[in-house]
């Protein structure tokens, strides 16, 4: 059966992967309300297309932190990709590079920053978890910078791991033949089995719960790479992030895997964009499965979006070719949405191209009698 949209890879991955692995990628926190809402919220945003515009040529290119990319669709950090496919992060890196877009490598990757860099050219960001041992952090950041990574995506919503009940039931742990490659030499690359989730125990032991805004400033003293703060969903934290020197913000609820009953990211986006006042770019991840979703995010003020689960599911199904196909399908759908909305470039996508539940009623013109 030919795959014709991104969502279809979910079922294929479910069939192919061991239950523990699929559940780790697929599940959200607790009741998984936010997991559903990340998707459902997109359906409450409708289009106001403009017609009779010459859409012969559509330009989807954009720049992110000064780097030119082919489209505003990028790859979010997802952990332990070799659980999905033997080539793991190598395959994802090659797919991103061939699509002309950015890949974000997870701190908890099963391939190291050096290994991913060795796949060839490409614009890559590094997602950072801050460990209790700051020397580990400094070393990792230096290695990413040396390996040619261009930015840090600092995850700020995980002082503790969210309660993911599938992982507890499955006693999730990293398969013994894999390691968290970036930490291999530091004796932090293995995950012990636990009475609940092995990952939750690992986080409790290693990740710093005291992380605060001063650490965002500290990071800037140890690297020249710009810092994107990932996991902001309020106006208050947007202002603090900018004050702390963030180069950009990623509106994210961690794929609905941390605090359940936070809003869908597409619902939190406009609040963050308004608070940022154009001082830094704002990006979104969470729930993007269609080109229409990408357009809606941009219409609400995002500078680009990141996809997570579609990458690991397509990777599980078809390896590098699967990830390439996901990027290609989203690209084609987004281009079509632009054309049918009357937008020829990213800069032509405006708030007037969509309508939402929370819009003020539009002025109705009185009919001529």
> Distance of alpha carbon 315 from its chain centroid, rounded?
16
- The reply, when asked if residue 24 is annotated as ligand binding, is yes
Please check whether residue 283 is in contact with residue 302, taking contact to mean a CB–CB distance below 8 angstroms. Answer: yes
- The reply, when asked if residue 322 is annotated as ligand binding, is no
- The reply, when asked if residue 155 is annotated as ligand binding, is yes
Separation of first and last alpha carbons in the chain: 57
Tokens of 351: 């708030």
Of 56, 53, 77, nearest in space to 342 by CA? 53
- The reply, when asked if residue 364 is annotated as ligand binding, is no
DSSP secondary structure, 156-213, as one string: -S-SS----HHHHHTT----TT---GGGGGGT-S-----SS-HHHHHHHHHB-TT--H
- The reply, when asked if residue 162 is annotated as ligand binding, is no
- The reply, when asked if residue 13 is annotated as ligand binding, is no
- The reply, when asked if residue 187 is annotated as ligand binding, is no
Cα 248 from Cα 33, distance rounded (Å): 28
Cα 208 from Cα 215, distance rounded (Å): 11
Please check whether residue 88 is in contact with residue 118, taking contact to mean a CB–CB distance below 8 angstroms. Answer: no
Please check whether residue 94 is in contact with residue 86, taking contact to mean a CB–CB distance below 8 angstroms. Answer: no
- The reply, when asked if residue 77 is annotated as ligand binding, is yes
- The reply, when asked if residue 278 is annotated as ligand binding, is no
Instruction: For residue 269, give every residue at least 6 positions away whose Cβ sits within 8 Å of its Cβ, in sequence order, or none.
Output: 251, 282, 284, 297, 300, 301, 302
- The reply, when asked if residue 98 is annotated as ligand binding, is no
In the annotation, is 85 catalytic? no
Please check whether residue 201 is in contact with residue 194, taking contact to mean a CB–CB distance below 8 angstroms. Answer: yes
- The reply, when asked if residue 164 is annotated as ligand binding, is yes
The residue length of the chain stands at 369
- The reply, when asked if residue 129 is annotated as ligand binding, is yes
- The reply, when asked if residue 86 is annotated as ligand binding, is no
Q: Could you identify the residue written with the tokens 């979703």?
A: 293
β-pairing, 67-69 vs 62-64, is antiparallel
Residue tagged active-site, from 39, 254, 290, 324: 254
Q: Which long-range contacts (CB under 8 A, 24 or more apart) does 357-361 make?
A: 357/44
- The reply, when asked if residue 21 is annotated as ligand binding, is no
- The reply, when asked if residue 230 is annotated as ligand binding, is yes
- The reply, when asked if residue 257 is annotated as ligand binding, is yes
Query: Which positions make up the binding site?
Result: 24, 77-79, 106, 127, 129, 155, 164, 230, 252, 254, 257, 285-289, 308-309
- Catalytic residue annotation: 254
Query: Which positions make up the binding site for FMN?
Result: 77-79, 106, 127, 155, 230, 252, 285-289, 308-309
Query: Which positions make up the binding site for glyoxylate?
Result: 24, 129, 164, 254, 257
């Amino acid at each position: 059966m030919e795959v014709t949209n991104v969502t279809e890879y979910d079922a294929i991955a479910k069939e192919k992967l061991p239950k523990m692995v699929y559940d780790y990628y697929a599940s959200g926190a607790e009741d998984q309300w936010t997991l559903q809402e990340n998707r459902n919220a997109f359906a409450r945003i409708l289009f106001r297309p403009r017609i009779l515009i010459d859409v012969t040529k559509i330009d989807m290119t954009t720049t992110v932190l000064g780097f030119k990319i082919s489209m505003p669709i990028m790859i979010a950090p997802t952990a332990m990709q070799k659980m999905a496919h033997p080539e793991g992060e190598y395959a994802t890196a090659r797919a991103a590079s061939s699509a002309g877009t950015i890949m974000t490598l997870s701190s908890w990757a099963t391939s190291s920053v050096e290994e991913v860099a060795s796949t060839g050219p490409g614009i890559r960001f590094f997602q950072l978890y801050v460990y209790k041992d700051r020397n580990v952090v400094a070393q990792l950041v230096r290695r990413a910078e040396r390996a040619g990574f261009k930015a840090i995506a600092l995850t700020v919503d995980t002082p503790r791991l969210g309660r993911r009940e599938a992982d507890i039931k499955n006693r999730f742990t990293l398969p013994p033949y894999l390691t968290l490659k970036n930490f291999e030499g530091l004796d932090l690359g293995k995950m012990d089995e636990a009475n609940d989730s092995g990952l939750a125990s690992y986080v409790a032991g290693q990740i710093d719960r005291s992380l605060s805004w001063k650490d965002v400033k500290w990071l800037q003293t140890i690297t020249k790479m710009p810092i994107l703060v990932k996991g902001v969903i309020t106006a208050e934290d947007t202002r603090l992030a900018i004050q702390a020197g963030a180069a950009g913000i990623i509106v994210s609820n961690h794929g609905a895997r941390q605090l359940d009953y936070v809003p869908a990211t597409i619902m939190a986006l406009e609040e963050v964009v308004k608070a940022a006042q154009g001082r830094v770019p704002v990006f979104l991840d969470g729930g993007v499965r269609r080109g229409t979703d990408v357009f809606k995010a941009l219409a609400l003020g995002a500078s680009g979006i990141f996809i997570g689960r579609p990458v690991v599911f397509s990777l599980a199904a078809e390896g590098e070719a699967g990830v390439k196909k996901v990027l290609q399908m989203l690209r084609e759908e987004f281009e079509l949405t632009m054309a049918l909305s009357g937008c020829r470039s990213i800069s032509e996508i405006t708030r007037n191209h969509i309508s939402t539940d929370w819009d003020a009623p539009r002025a109705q013109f009185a009919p001529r009698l």
